[in-house]
Structure 1
Amino acid sequence: MPDPSPENRQEVRDLSVRLILLLGAASLLGSLVSNGARSVTGPYLLLLGGSAAVVGLVAGSGELIGYALRSATGAYVGRSHRYWKVAMTGYGLLAAIPLLAVAGRWETAAVLIIAERIGKAVRTPARDTILSHATTTVGRGWGFGVHKALDQVGAVIGPLIMVAALALTGGYAPGFLLLGIPLAGVAVVLFLAQSKVPKPGRLEANGGTRENMDDPPVIIPYAAFIFLGMAGFASFPLISFHLKAQSIVPDAVIPLFYASAMVVSVMVALLVGRVFDRIGTHVLLTIPVLSTATVLLAFSPDPGVAIAGSLAWGAGIGIFETALRASIAESTAADRRGKVYGAVSAVFGTAWFAGSVVMGILYDVSIGHIVAYVVIVETAAVIAYLWMYRCRIAVRLQEEIGGLIP
């Protein structure tokens, strides 16, 4: 256990900051690789002979598998504490992206695309648990906010690299191969981070909070809030479909809407991190507001209003993923976080998948039906948050009373 002297605390803080920045750099490079490929996998599958149905199935299955598996990988990390080994294995599956250059058939490409999503499921609970230890001395919100911001920078740069490769070569293969360069950078950064902090749990000597979010009285209402909040959060593919189907903006402008949303998510992630450190989980209440604002604005026939909706969507991404991970770190004992990160990520992804399917079906009925659905779901999310808040207060009171009894 580290000496609690001021000098030692400053040393731990400095080491924690370096670890957060290194993991942020790894996520930036990894996001550059994955999002660079994901920006063109649809047309690439079509080029290889896949149908539109195949594209939808592969994309949807990859996301669902990528989130659902996190429950299992999170539980393994929680038991084994092999954070670095699991994280490196997950990042290693990014090697599937350069291999897309030689796929040849849509079936092979589909397997590689899903393999990359499985890698995301493997690495995320382990990486977030490492981050939770590193954010102890610097602020949960700030630490996760910085990490999310760096991750989103990669999400912006990756597609731009693929656009440049396509413009210069006219083919997809050179772009996929080019993404192998930042992939090598991921490996270098991860090995450097591991060498700096081989046992990240030591950054949190006291084991974290006594509260445990995986206890049923806490996790059930929390999971209900996450599920309802994400079930009403529109997906950008549906927003972009609307922009094209209604000819609201030219096709070439749609990627700029996405890039603008990602830029907003970077700025919001940094801001909400600081806000979280001041007001805690209450910042999550902005999600129902932003989810409702997104559908009211993004599905407008007016281009100016539609881009405002896209920016609201980007702000929601920055808030949800920053505050969500920080709240778990704040409310779960260190030795149980891997399990909770995995379980909550599975709920998060399943809800987003289910909500996207429902909104996609309702779009063919009317946009008004989507708005009504989101208003109902997000109202229920607010109720679930109040339920969660009351349960957490009750649990803390029980712990305090138990601590007073000899």
Structure 2
Amino acid sequence: MFAGISLNVLVLGLVSFLTDISSEMIYPLLPLFLTRVLGAGPAFLGVIEGVAESTAALLKLFSGIVSDRVRRRKGLVLAGYSLSSIARPLVAAATSPVAVLAIRFADRVGKGLRTSPRDALIADSTDPTARGKAYGFHRAMDNGGALVGPLAATALMTLFAEDLRTVFWLAAIPGFLAVLLIVTSVRETARQQASNGSFLRYVPRGRLRRYLIVLFIFTLGNSSDAFLLLRAGELGVSPVKIPLLWAFFQAVRMLFSTPFGALSDRVGRRRLIIAGWSVYALSYAGFALATSELACWLLFAVYGLYYSMTEGVEKAFVADMVPATERGGSFGWYNFAVGVGALPASLFFGAIWQQAGRLAAFGFGAAMAALAVLLLLTMVGTSASGAGNAHSSP
């Protein structure tokens, strides 16, 4: 099971596991906290999520490029996790939606600092023939934390009579443990540094550029998962069950991420991404038409498969296309393409839902995914699967 998984990848997986316990003790409850406690609506929820993710996207680009130019990626990884671990639990003290926006902004600054250097460090620490499996394993650990977090939130809500603020404060504990693990156990790897030339040299070229354009188009229809939790409430899932539903969703992601990542090492990344985006389109169409709580649970399972088929595979696809000296910057552009599309995606979705209803909103997401599948088929050519993919953009 752990063949091809280096010590660094294992430790970074544990870090993500702990961080996501902390994050997912808060995130599934945040829509309820905003709407029922602080009085925000779907449109403001879209603003919060869009601004948060787009902020992270800009910093992921910057931190990725910087990490190629410095000797130690670990410093950026540590700084990012530390900032998020400090900021995230402060949601407990928020008294207005604007305060939540500020806290989410600080949390995502931390995510922006750490993500691209961490992704590059995973590639630095992994044999190319096991790259899909390594990223799949990392996503599985991340999703494992996202499974435990909602379960912990459910238990704590029961213990503290559904006191959301107490649950948010306690989320600080696993975040602190994650930071401690980085300090003591993550190691740098030997690698060649990029030259300190113009930042323009990091602008994607060739096949990578085309892939990122298609990915951006897909992201425009990929709004915040907070809207799915809002939809779950409409379908009859009670507040106490919301964390359980989220945990179920994360369990699906955790169980299938490593197998799908390993599969991409054998059959190729593009095939898995196309299949995953198609599953996304089907799940969003289902959320638009669902009429029962049971349908909601089934759709969250299907939606979890979409994540398992694409999260790690998309990153391995990027690593396959670039030389080692450009990994950080390339992951920066990958994360930028995903994140910069998140702001209009969530704004569009929230506005469409509020003005035209859920059918139009979820239909828009499904249509954009279908368009992205067609563009990936026509614009981004295939090459040898797994490690056999070219390491430079044609």
Query: What's the TM-score once normalised by structure 2's chain length?
Result: 0.83
Match of 2:216 in 1: 227
Match of 2:229 in 1: 240
CA contact (8 A) 2:60 2:335 kept: yes
1:192 corresponds to 2:184: yes
Q: Offset of 1:359 from its aligned partner?
A: 3.5
Match of 2:246 in 1: 258
CA distance in 2 between counterparts of 1:293 and 1:33 reads 31
Match of 1:216 in 2: 205
Equivalent positions of 1:71-150 (< 5 A) are 71-93=61-83, 94-102=85-93, 108-136=99-127, 139-150=130-141
Equivalent positions of 1:246-395 (< 5 A) are 247-282=235-270, 283-299=272-288, 300-363=290-353, 364-365=355-356, 369-370=360-361, 373-374=364-365, 376-390=367-381
Q: Offset of 1:54 from its aligned partner?
A: 5.2
CA distance in 2 between counterparts of 1:169 and 1:372 reads 39
CA contact (8 A) 2:18 2:145 kept: yes
Match of 2:19 in 1: 30
CA contact (8 A) 1:218 1:391 kept: no
Query: Aligned residues: percent identity?
Result: 21
Q: Offset of 1:368 from its aligned partner?
A: 5.0
Ranges in structure 2 where 5+ consecutive residues have no aligned partner = 194-200
Q: Give the aligned residue type for 1:313.
A: Y
Q: Which one is further off, 268-277 or 71-80?
A: 71-80
Q: Which one is further off, 100-109 or 247-256?
A: 100-109
Q: Offset of 1:15 from its aligned partner?
A: 9.3
CA distance in 2 between counterparts of 1:156 and 1:166 reads 16
Q: Give the aligned residue type for 1:243.
A: A
Other structure's SS at 2:309 match: helix
**Are residues 252 and 342 of structure 1, via their aligned partners in 2, closer, same or farther at CA, if it must alter by over 3 Å?**
same
CA contact (8 A) 2:140 2:257 kept: yes
Other structure's SS at 1:124 match: helix
Ranges in structure 1 where 5+ consecutive residues have no aligned partner = 1-12, 205-211
Q: Offset of 1:99 from its aligned partner?
A: 4.0
Residues 47-76 of structure 1: CA distance to partner in whole angstroms, max 9, x if unpaired?
875644655533332122122321122222
Q: When you count helix as a share of all residues, which structure comes out higher?
A: 1
CA distance in 1 between counterparts of 2:366 and 2:32 reads 34
Residues 211-235 of structure 1: CA distance to partner in whole angstroms, max 9, x if unpaired?
x995422232101221222333354
Q: Give the aligned residue type for 1:319.
A: M
CA distance in 2 between counterparts of 1:112 and 1:380 reads 35
**Are residues 267 and 87 of structure 1, via their aligned partners in 2, closer, same or farther at CA, if it must alter by over 3 Å?**
same
Q: Give the aligned residue type for 2:316.
A: A
Q: Which one is further off, 233-242 or 82-91?
A: 233-242
Other structure's SS at 1:165 match: helix
CA contact (8 A) 1:218 1:392 kept: no
**Are residues 69 and 277 of structure 1, via their aligned partners in 2, closer, same or farther at CA, if it must alter by over 3 Å?**
same
Q: Give the aligned residue type for 1:184.
A: F
Q: Which one is further off, 232-241 or 68-77?
A: 232-241
Q: If you compute each CA radius of gyration, which structure gives the higher value, 1 or 2? A: 1
CA distance in 2 between counterparts of 1:124 and 1:318 reads 18
Match of 1:201 in 2: 191
Q: Offset of 1:327 from its aligned partner?
A: 0.9
Match of 1:8 in 2: none
Paired residues in the alignment total 375
Structural RMSD (CA): 3.3
CA contact (8 A) 2:204 2:330 kept: no
Q: Which one is further off, 53-62 or 91-100?
A: 53-62
Which structure has more RCO (C-alpha within 8 Å, separation ≥ 6)? 2
